[in-house]
Amino acid sequence: MSLQFELRSNPKPHSESERDAILADPGFGLHFTDHMAVATWTAADGWHDSAIVPYGPFSLDPATAVLHYAQQIFEGLKAYRHEDGTIWTFRADKNAERMIRSAHRLALPPLDAEDFLCSIEELVAADVAWVPTAPEQSLYLRPFMFATEAFLGVRPAKRVTYCCIASPAGPYFASGVKPVSIWISTVYSRAAPGGTGAAKCGGNYAASLIAQQEAASQGCEQVVFADAKEHCWLEELGGMNVYLVTTDNELITPELTGSILEGVTRDSILTLAPEFGLTPVERRIAIDELLEGVGSGKVTELFACGTAAVMTPIGTLKNDVGSYQVGSGESGETTLALRQKLLDIQYGRTEDTHAWLRRIL
């Protein structure tokens, strides 16, 4: 039986003027809507107690398993308001499928795709006034699941909470679509073969933070990781996949080795590439090959991509040997054209030929 997410309305929602003030400049991940979706899983009863409830804090026993062993996963997707006022999600089925794969890796109970989609749709319906109207803004949705059994033994928890919160979002980077500089970390790894790199779990992001600090101390905005075994193959950034464009019109991204996140934006770009005369390629890319290509001009553009940041040009690469400017150091033409196409699909400004959009309201 599928879950129902009935609305238990927030008796103290933000006032219209408070909401308008937030929507005037939402930033990223700073403000949250009036409701959230919740459901509970227990080993005895499976998923139950699902509802849309007032947004608010959880009360957790200090022994709650997630606080000790990080048994947790999450997703990120957006709801877009089209010019005619209708609200849509983009490839939400992919997020639902990935959450099931992440749940499997973290020994959490799968939430049916139908229930995942229902939770999102009911939450957006409850908080529809929070879906921004301003261009390039959206309602960022953050579904997550975590072990809530109060127990210190190391085994999968017998009690789990699912929740989805929503946050009006402007650009992920305060600087907008300006090219970013990237530090190539060979000291720290994000994920290892057999590890959790392909799962969207908090631990992967926690592991990236020290490298992100290292990048900042080197004057870079982001970090890109090499593989954990040989430290020479390009993997991904702290929270985004990476792509390069070559003079042969190839659009190359590291192949999925099990330690790279299967990004929905990554996959969408692979699909869109031929429409731009580009050959999509998924293969191993040596860091040396990347640096040589950037040096010789064979690599003309480099960009990062993800749901939150969409596509972000990379203007400079840095490692402990030197600094390397990518192309002119400015946003590349191909990057900007692909980015525009993706946004045009998401905001309903061009035909959705791949049937990626799903109407919510």
Helices 92-105 and 264-272: angle between axes, nearest 10 degrees = 130
- Cα separation of 190 and 214, whole Å? 13
Q: Which helix (H) or strand (E) holds 317?
A: strand 310-318
Helices then strands, each counted (H, E), the chain: 8, 18
Residue (96 or 308) nearer to ligand COI, CB: 308
Q: Please give the Cα distance from 62 to 56 (Å, whole number).
A: 18
Between 81 and 266, whose beta carbon lies closer to ligand COI?
266
Residues 6+ apart with CB under 8 A from 355: none
Dihedral through CA 361, CA 29, CA 318, CA 329, nearest 10?
50
CB of 307 to ligand COI, least distance (A): 3
Min dist CB 360 to ligand COI, Å, is 18
Residue indicated by tokens 């949250």: 32
- Cβ atoms of residues 36 and 111 within 8 Å: no
Task: Report the nearest approach of ligand COI to the CB of residue 124 (Å).
Answer: 16
CB of 327 to ligand COI, least distance (A): 24
* DSSP-based three-state secondary structure for 47: strand
Q: Which residues contact 73 (CB under 8 A, 6 or more apart)?
A: 99, 102, 103, 106, 108, 144, 145, 146, 199, 200, 201, 202
Which residues sit at the interface with ligand COI, rule CB under 6 A? 76, 239, 306-308
Q: Give the residue with the Cβ less far from ligand COI, 225 or 324.
A: 225
Contact 308, 169 (CB under 8 A): yes
Question: Which is closer to ligand COI, CB of 171 or CB of 306?
Answer: 306
In whole angstroms, the minimum distance from the beta carbon of 204 to ligand COI comes to: 10
Nearer to ligand COI, 50 or 189 (CB): 189
Distance between CA atoms of 78 and 131, rounded to whole angstroms? Answer: 10
Nearer to ligand COI by Cβ, of 5 and 172: the residue is: 172
Task: Give dist(CA 89, CA 124) in Å, integer.
Answer: 10
Residue 206 CB, nearest approach to ligand COI (Å): 12
Considering only CA atoms, which of 173, 300, 177, 186 is closest in space to residue 244?
Answer: 300
Minimum CB distance to ligand COI smaller for 254 or for 306: 306
Q: How far apart are CA 152 and CA 159, in angstroms?
A: 13
Provide the minimum distance between the beta carbon of 254 and ligand COI in the complex, in angstroms, as a whole number. 17
- Closest CB to ligand COI among residues 171, 239: 239
Distance in Å, CB of 76 to ligand COI, minimum: 2
- Which residue's CB is nearer to ligand COI, number 35 or number 266? 266
Task: Tell me how far, at minimum, the Cβ of 27 lies from ligand COI, in Å.
Answer: 13
